[in-house]
Amino acid sequence: MTRGRSGAGPVIHSGRTTPRLMAHAVAALAPIALASTWRFGTAASVLFGVAIATAMLCDAVCDRRNANDGSAVVIGMIVACLMPATAPWWLAAAGSAIAVLLGKHALGGLGRNLFNPAALARVLLMGLAPAAFFSPLWTIDGRTAATPLAKELGASPVTVVDLLLGLDSVTLGDAMPVAVLVGGLVLIALRTIDWQVPLCYLGAISLLALVLPPGERIVGHAPWLAGNPMAHLLNGSTLFCAFFMLTDPVTAPFTRPGRLVFCTLAAAYTMVVRYYTPYPDGVAFAVLLANASVPFIDRKMIWGSVGRGASDELPAVDSQYLAGDEGGQG
Amino acid sequence: MAAMKIPGYKHCADSPIQQLLPPERVRLPIAEMLPAVDVGDRVEAGTVVARSAPDAEWQRRAHSPLTGRVVAISEPASEEGPTREVVIEGRAPTETSARPHLDAATLSADRILTCARDAGVVGMSGAQFPTHVKLRPGVPIDCVIVNGSESEPFITCDHRVLAEHRHEVECGMHLAMRAVGATRGEITTGRRGHPFGQERFVISDVLGRDVPDGRLPKDVGVVVINVQTARALHHAVCDREPLLERVITVDGSAVASPGNYTVPIGTEVGHALTQCGVRLDEAAVLVAGGPMMGESAGLETPIGPGTGGVLALGHGQISDLLDRPCVRCGECMESCPFGLPVVLLLEEPNEALLQCIECGVCQFVCAAQRPLIDGIRSVKAELRAGRRQG
């Protein structure tokens, strides 16, 4: 039977609802989960499973009303993607718990959290549990690392095909950069994310790789990384960050121009971390640092334009008359 | 990615206008008019049943579309409830009495305006503003636009009127031009989708003139009237016929025979739907008007002069308002024809919101399915109250 609808406004909808967008993200992350399982074996599936289950549990505890929107599954999958393949299961659980409890709910809940929850979890865990995070594949001094971004002096340069297939990858998310590209293109095709954001980030990374003078660690241990944009694009979590982290609407600026400023900033932070700090990857740091500027970017870019709209030219006529003057749909 | 285009759903664009079996009861909303009849009075089709007080600024008339008896004059139950109505039971006239046909070419502007006023011609695109007032703008007008860009999804009645009765619409346009002294007349059909059939966008598209915030089209030398208003003006002046009927679109997945139909003003939504074979158990919501800016209706809601359609939308066609947390996707700002950051303006009210025309696009795209239009209305009311005090 028919019912009156309490709310005013349109009764039809575009269909692009939060659960739908989250489902798109899960679908786009699925190839990455499969690729990491193919590359690292069942250990990868266990990490994905633990991360997703922990995220869903924590979300349901904190906010039962919105727990079914699928955002917890997405956070869990992104947390897992940022885990090293060698991580123990509890590291994935701790990552999801930090992301959901602290990153999402303690900082305001879905839509209000300033920082990308998964990036926050990764950075905190790198600080709190470095042993679980880095050994045995990674070391922060670059000496025993197997990732190309930290590759030792004298190691043979990697080809683009090697990079695309992730033969030197460390985290689940970059198990196979091809899978990340596929997932990212799916999101663009579904119009879930703006293509401008990854393009701007990846473009800025390439440019900075060419123009920035490399720091001591690069010059000393991995000179082939200096001035080599392709190595920076296809390595570490660059692609993953471009398609799955910077495109999180909650922690990005509200306006499209603001988002381009935001991802340029993130690219700059990424390259600074890679070139001048002991950390070989740096995207999680870069995302957090860029997140911190979002309120400032929004304030400048939204209210600047809106303020101009509301000048002295305000209705001299009662707007009832305005609306009453055949302003209908024509 | 460009801002989302609102889909047209113009299923009935090729359905010729048909006559519905006329209702035996009509409810004429008379708003602030005074009843000119009493309960029990006999009325003819065309009898004036209500008119504005003599000292009212904008003179309106309401005419009975049926020959029969006044059975009730309802008082508004509350300020927000339905307006006062005159309820008439009877039958539609089988044939309109032939009246002397006037030659439009010889009429003075005053004569046109008097005919429009006496016939009760009002804007038929929703707002129902008296046309004779609009055609006496008091400022120089160089162009009359007949707006056929009905951009609301589903609604095709103006499109059909233009396809089948273009000469009447053109005659109405020339009468309007004569009344305001305009030398230019344009009939527009838009393709840009909702909300770009709204008059300020049409003026911008056709003439390249921008109507400043808070101003009216006449301030840039334009008068915009709807297709069916122009046609009603033609009938009012040339045939001396009052506004008794209009063409509506009846559509929705719960309707067996969607199409474009001529109905007497005041026909109940339920009557129109029943004639079109509605399956009420499949209807999730009934709408009077378009799905973006129309009002949700009941079976007894009358079809007014400004009601472009009656929709019985199925569950698969509508969306619930779930009011999830905003994910700051920015689509409301991206899709807003004025570029307003809608959700942010609801948290942090700003007078910029007053230019909002409540086209509903932001709510249509809102991923969190928030009731943005409700929010906009209440914030606008607060802003206006604040301005009156300040």
Q: Give the confidence band of A30 by pLDDT, cuts at 50, 70, 90.
A: very high
Residues facing B259 on adjacent strands: B250
- Tell me the per-residue pLDDT of B29-79, one tens digit each, with 9 for 90 and over: 988 899 999 999 999 999 999 999 999 989 999 999 999 999 999 876 666
Encoding tokens for residue A150?
Answer: 């930290």
Nearest residue, CB atoms, B296 vs list A5, A14, A302: A5
Rg (CA), chain A: 22
What is the model's pLDDT at position B149?
92
Encoding tokens for residue A231?
Answer: 């190595």
d(CA A273, CA A227) in angstroms, rounded, equals: 15
What is the model's pLDDT at position A218?
79
- The number of angstroms, rounded, from the C-alpha of B282 to the middle of its chain's C-alpha atoms is 27
Q: What is the mean pLDDT of chain A?
A: 83
Do residues A88 and A43 touch, judged by C-beta distance below 8 A? no
d(CA B298, CA B291) in angstroms, rounded, equals: 15
3-state secondary structure of A93: helix
Assess A306–B contact: CB distance below 8 Å, yes or no.
yes
- Tell me the per-residue pLDDT of A199-237, one tens digit each, with 9 for 90 and over: 999 999 999 999 999 888 778 777 778 888 988 898 778
d(CA B348, CA B339) in angstroms, rounded, equals: 16
What is the model's pLDDT at position B96?
61
Q: What percent of chain A has pLDDT over 70?
A: 79
Assess A320–B contact: CB distance below 8 Å, yes or no.
no
Q: Give the confidence band of B167 by pLDDT, cuts at 50, 70, 90.
A: very high
B212/A330 CB distance under 8 A = no
Interface pTM (ipTM) of the complex?
Answer: 0.90
Q: Supply the DSSP symbol for A102.
A: I
Q: Which helix (H) or strand (E) holds A242?
A: none
Residues 233-272 of A with CB under 8 A from B: 249-250, 252-256
- Tell me the per-residue pLDDT of B216-241, one tens digit each, with 9 for 90 and over: 999 999 999 999 999 999 999 999 99
Which CATH number does B245-317 carry?
3.10.20.600
Nearest CA in chain A to B353: A310
Nearest CA to B184 out of B221, B238, B153 is that of B221
Q: What is the DSSP string of B227-247?
A: HHHHHHHHHHHHS-----EEE
Residue B195: cis peptide before it, omega within 30 degrees of 0: yes
Q: Residue B247 pLDDT > 90, yes or no? A: yes
Nearest residue, CB atoms, B285 vs list A5, A8, A21: A5
Higher per-residue confidence, B24 vs A303:
B24
- Tell me the per-residue pLDDT of A183-204, one tens digit each, with 9 for 90 and over: 999 999 999 999 999 999 999 9
What average pLDDT does the segment B250-258 reach?
97
What is the model's pLDDT at position B388?
80
Q: What percent of chain A has pLDDT over 90?
A: 58
Higher per-residue confidence, A250 vs B389:
A250
Nearest CA in chain A to B212: A313
Q: What percent of chain B has pLDDT over 90?
A: 81
Mean pLDDT is lowest, of A290-294, B87-91, B316-320, for B316-320
Assess A299–B contact: CB distance below 8 Å, yes or no.
no
Do residues B248 and B261 touch, judged by C-beta distance below 8 A? yes
Amino acid present at B112: I
Provide, as residue numbers in chain A, all residues whose Cβ is less than 8 Å from the Cβ of B372.
9
Nearest CA in chain B to A19: B367
3-state secondary structure of A101: helix
d(CA B298, CA B287) in angstroms, rounded, equals: 8
What average pLDDT does the segment B311-324 reach?
92
What is the model's pLDDT at position A157?
54
Encoding tokens for residue A74?
Answer: 């997405």
Amino acid present at A184: G
B125/A328 CB distance under 8 A = yes
Nearest residue, CB atoms, A315 vs list B128, B152, B213: B213
What is the model's pLDDT at position A65?
82
A325/B134 CB distance under 8 A = yes
Encoding tokens for residue A305?
Answer: 């334009």
Residues 314-353 of B with CB under 8 A from A: 317-319, 321-322, 324-331, 333-334, 338-341, 344-345, 350-352
Nearest residue, CB atoms, B1 vs list A191, A315, A328: A191
Nearest CA to B46 out of B245, B231, B228, B200 is that of B245
Nearest residue, CB atoms, B216 vs list A8, A21, A322: A322
Nearest residue, CB atoms, A328 vs list B126, B298, B354: B126
A325/B298 CB distance under 8 A = no
- Tell me the per-residue pLDDT of B339-385, one tens digit each, with 9 for 90 and over: 999 999 999 898 899 989 999 999 999 999 999 999 999 999 999 99
- Tell me the per-residue pLDDT of A108-120, one tens digit each, with 9 for 90 and over: 888 899 999 999 9
B341/A18 CB distance under 8 A = no
What is the model's pLDDT at position B50?
95
Do residues A254 and A302 touch, judged by C-beta distance below 8 A? yes
What is the model's pLDDT at position B94?
76
Q: State residue B332 phi and psi, 5-degree precision.
A: -60, -40
3-state secondary structure of B250: strand
Residues 234-293 of B with CB under 8 A from A: 280-281, 283-287, 289-293
Q: Give the confidence band of A315 by pLDDT, cuts at 50, 70, 90.
A: very low
Does the domain spanning B25-89 belong to CATH 3.20.20.105?
A: no
Say which residues have a Cβ less than 8 Å from residue A173's Cβ, sequence separation at least 6. A32, A36, A78, A80, A81, A82, A180, A237, A240, A244
Assess B19–A contact: CB distance below 8 Å, yes or no.
no
Q: What is the DSSP string of A290-318?
A: HHHTHHHHHHHHHHHHHHHHTSS---SS-
Nearest residue, CB atoms, B284 vs list A2, A66, A252: A2
Q: Give the confidence band of B130 by pLDDT, cuts at 50, 70, 90.
A: very high
What is the model's pLDDT at position A16?
93
Assess B383–A contact: CB distance below 8 Å, yes or no.
no
Residues facing B286 on adjacent strands: B312
B345/A306 CB distance under 8 A = yes
- The number of angstroms, rounded, from the C-alpha of B269 to the middle of its chain's C-alpha atoms is 15
Provide, as residue numbers in chain A, all residues whose Cβ is less than 8 Å from the Cβ of B292.
9-10, 12, 329
Encoding tokens for residue B352?
Answer: 């910029």
- Tell me the per-residue pLDDT of A130-162, one tens digit each, with 9 for 90 and over: 887 765 544 444 444 445 554 443 445 566 676
Residue found by looking up tokens 């309106």 in the block = B60
Q: What is the mean pLDDT of chain B?
A: 92
Residues facing B245 on adjacent strands: B264
Encoding tokens for residue A61?
Answer: 């505890």
d(CA A263, CA A205) in angstroms, rounded, equals: 10
- Highest averaged pLDDT of the listed ranges A11-20, A125-134, A157-166: A11-20
What is the model's pLDDT at position B3?
57
d(CA A213, CA A209) in angstroms, rounded, equals: 8
What is the model's pLDDT at position B377?
95
Could you state, in order of their start, the residue ranges of all structural domains in chain B? Answer: 25-89, 108-238, 245-317, 331-389
What is the model's pLDDT at position A303?
76
Do residues B158 and B119 touch, judged by C-beta distance below 8 A? no
Query: In the CATH scheme, what architecture does the domain A18-301 have?
Result: Orthogonal Bundle (1.10)
Does the domain spanning B108-238 belong to CATH 3.90.1720.10?
A: no
What is the model's pLDDT at position B373?
96
What average pLDDT does the segment A1-12 reach?
68
d(CA A174, CA A202) in angstroms, rounded, equals: 15
Q: Residue B2 pLDDT > 80, yes or no? A: no
Assess B129–A contact: CB distance below 8 Å, yes or no.
yes
What average pLDDT does the segment A273-278 reach?
89
Reading across the β-sheet that carries B17-19, which strands appear in turn?
Answer: B17-19, B259-264, B245-251, B309-314, B283-288, B295-296
d(CA A242, CA A232) in angstroms, rounded, equals: 12
